A and B are shown apart, each in its own frame.
Chain A
Amino acid sequence: MRIVPAGDRALVADFGNVISEDVNRKVNALKKSLLAEKAAGVREMIPTYRSLLVEYDPAVISMQELSRRIEAASLGGAQAEAEKKRVLEIPCCYGGQYGEDLAGLSELTGLSEKEIIDIHAGTEYRVYMLGFLPGFVYLGGMDERIAAPRLKSPRVSIPAGSVGIGGSQTGVYPMASPGGWRLIGMTPVSFYDPNRGKPVLCEAGDYIRFVPIPPEEYERQIKEGGAS
């Protein structure tokens, strides 16, 4: 880990230019131990795949002092996270009108729709980071057999709750947005709701497993205001 300044009000604890579960665990563990410390003057923390950005108020804590604290907090290692793994089960209604691109993906990959669903729902995905949109999760661990390039022309608006595949990534649109991912299903669970006590469902370090549900169940959960 190296600690580098991002201007006069932020330090970045950088673990290297890689996507790996090990590195991401270290990022997450560092964030948790800094949070537990409740250091005065820390204004914001942004964990990514590979680094933790810590914004601070230099009038309250000096760069040197914060750097020492980050150094000390990093010694705890990645164990902290492993202790309690949080797995969120996300119901997903696959295919048909709920996942318009599933049929196309089946042609593209040579797998049946059922096989794609089994693979997609049979994997536990790690939330590496959030970004791009409020509550948008960058998930790792998708099976390469169901990977597919993004659509040539992105959709103008994809509804919230859409589950898609873009390249080797899978994810859920937390709010309506333009996008080029191939849509394979919809979840009734709201990943982002600004009016909820906890506006964003997941945090980095969580795991997600998709659970296939039939359309009736999807509609029932939507009527009940989502399963969240």
Chain B
Amino acid sequence: MSVLVKTPGPLTTVQDEGRFFYQSSGIRPSGVMDGAAYEAANALVGNVKGEAVLEMTFLGATLEFQSAAWFALTGADMQAKLDGVPVERYRAVRAEAGQTLAVGMAATGCRGYLAVWGGFDVPLVMGSRSTDVSAKLGGFEGRALKAGDVLPTLAADDWTPTDLCYEPPVYESEITVRVVPGPQEEYFTAAGVDTFFSAAYEISPNSDRMGLRLDGPEIERISGTDIVSDGIVFGSIQVPSGGVPIILMADHQTAGGYAKIGTVLSFDLPKLAQARPGDVVRFEKISAEDAQKLY
């Protein structure tokens, strides 16, 4: 069972939940940007073991199914068509051998996900199939997909589809995400923290899987924001010397030397993963204790 890449789109990579327990060695976690869309995609095609999917950015890939397959599309609305017929998102769809799935431009959202029954079969590297493009590690030959690549899938013979479907999420161009303050909130003045939690920031076109750069007001610091390197998580908000925050995303470095004013609540990361350049983001404070109550 396999899928042929006819056109890859600007950045299409194989991803799963990410690569863990190697960050102490300097290896980035990678993994999908939008964990909610990823989980939905796998669930729709009956995958339960954190199978690898394709993550497409802004413009999707055109793929030919070399054998029959069940697939599901989630995340950004990329106007996909199977042999010219529009495909609904957030439900399992059957493709026959030889059919072509053309995934187009994202009408809303930023990242689309394609899961196939069984998952994409690339080698497990350090426990994960995720692509780390910067380290040329994992995924399909450690890189973004190219035309002509053939991706095998791990599908067993066939699968009996279920009626499972989800309401596609609506991606707004103005979003609010909840933030747990710290761990280095003390590097900022009270006025600076207030700016952070009240201002509107715009997602900069310079954003990528490593981090979302923002345009907006500077946050007032007590002195500098250089610190002795400290660990980073998906969602850490660091403030470099210029005073404008950067939100670190799936391809974040493992440690960094800028003070972090807060950390985005994990439940709100999918909103950021789907934010497009020019979208507006606001931050709302939530205590770590209150965040625990959400579990």
- In the bound complex, do residue A131 and residue B182 qualify as a contact, i.e. CB atoms below 8 Å apart? no
Interface centre among B28, B125, B180 (most CB of A within 10 A): B180
Provide the residues of chain A in CB contact with B235, threshold 8 Å.
7
Provide the residues of chain A in CB contact with B131, threshold 8 Å.
none
The reply on A222 being an interface residue by CB < 8 A is no
The reply on B57 being an interface residue by CB < 8 A is no
- In the bound complex, do residue A53 and residue B230 qualify as a contact, i.e. CB atoms below 8 Å apart? yes
Cross-chain contact of A62 among B26, B228, B292 (Cβ < 8 A)? B292
Q: Give the B interface residue count (CB, 8 A).
A: 42
Tell me the minimal C-beta distance from A157 to chain B in angstroms: 13
Tell me the minimal C-beta distance from B118 to chain A in angstroms: 25
Tell me the minimal C-beta distance from B225 to chain A in angstroms: 12
The reply on B22 being an interface residue by CB < 8 A is yes
* A37-81 interface code vs B (CB 8 A; 1 in, 0 out): 000000111111111110100110011000000000000000000
* B70-97 interface code vs A (CB 8 A; 1 in, 0 out): 0000000000000000000000000000
The reply on A227 being an interface residue by CB < 8 A is no
Cross-chain contact of B25 among A48, A52, A63, A200 (Cβ < 8 A)? A200
The reply on A213 being an interface residue by CB < 8 A is no
Tell me the minimal C-beta distance from B229 to chain A in angstroms: 5
- In the bound complex, do residue B182 and residue A4 qualify as a contact, i.e. CB atoms below 8 Å apart? yes
Q: Which of A91-142 contact B (CB under 8 A)?
A: 129-136, 138
- In the bound complex, do residue A10 and residue B233 qualify as a contact, i.e. CB atoms below 8 Å apart? yes
Provide the residues of chain B in CB contact with A21, threshold 8 Å.
none
Cross-chain contact of A9 among B28, B135, B183, B233 (Cβ < 8 A)? B233
Q: Using CB atoms, name the residue of chain A closest to B179.
A: A7
Q: Using CB atoms, name the residue of chain B closest to A136.
A: B26
User: Within the assembled complex, what's the spacing in Å between the Cα atoms of A140 and B230?
Assistant: 16
Stretch at the interface among A12-20, A161-169, A182-190: A12-20
- In the bound complex, do residue A134 and residue B288 qualify as a contact, i.e. CB atoms below 8 Å apart? no
- In the bound complex, do residue A8 and residue B254 qualify as a contact, i.e. CB atoms below 8 Å apart? no
User: Within the assembled complex, what's the spacing in Å between the Cα atoms of A43 and B22?
Assistant: 11
Tell me the minimal C-beta distance from B219 to chain A in angstroms: 18
- In the bound complex, do residue B263 and residue A10 qualify as a contact, i.e. CB atoms below 8 Å apart? yes
Provide the residues of chain B in CB contact with A9, threshold 8 Å.
233, 266
Provide the residues of chain A in CB contact with B264, threshold 8 Å.
7
16 CB < 8 A contacts A-B? A6-B233, A8-B180, A8-B266, A8-B291, A8-B295, A10-B263, A18-B228, A53-B230, A58-B295, A129-B255, A131-B254, A131-B255, A132-B26, A134-B25, A135-B26, A136-B26
